[in-house]
Amino acid sequence: MNIYEIPRNYKGESRILFIFSTKALIYTAVGIGIGLIPYAILNILGLGTIGLILIIALGGIGFGIGTCKVPESKKFSLTQKTGGEAIDDVIKRWLKFKTRKNKIYVYTKEETKDE
C-alpha cells in the first residue's frame, strides 16, 4: 500500500519551536519589546513582578495578533466582513483607512449615452 501526501497551503510560513511561525515570532518580539519600556519604569519603582507580567501579557497579545484569524460569525458586522482573515491584516487596513482621514476611494466607470 502506497502513502500519498495531501498538499497543504502553508503560504510560505515555516514553524519555529512548533508554535511560532516567522510572522508570529516577529509580532511576539515586538510585543515583548513594547513591554520592556514599562518594565524598566516599574523595576525602578520596585514593582518588577508587575512589569514581568506586563511583558508576558504584551508578548501574548503580539502572538495572538500574528497567529489568530478573525472568527466567522453572522452576529456582528465586523466578523461578517472580515471573517477568516488574519488579525494583523485587518489592523493594517484599519490603520491605512485612518491615516487617509476616513476616505475611501471608489473608482466607477460612467457610461455616456450618445444622443
pLDDT tens digits, residue range 93-103? 888 888 877 76
pLDDT of residue 17: 64
Please tell me which residue, 61 or 9, carries the higher pLDDT value. Answer: 61
Proportion of the chain above pLDDT 90, given as a percent: 28
Comparing 107 with 94, which gets the higher pLDDT? 94
The pLDDT tens digits for 36-59 are 999 999 999 999 899 999 999 999
- Three-class SS of the chain: CCCCCCCCCCCCCCEECCCEEHHHHHHHHHHHHHHHHHHHHHHHCCCHHHHHHHHHHHHHHHHHHHHCECCCCCCCHHHHHHCCCEHHHHHHHHHHHHHCCCCCCCCCCCCCCCC
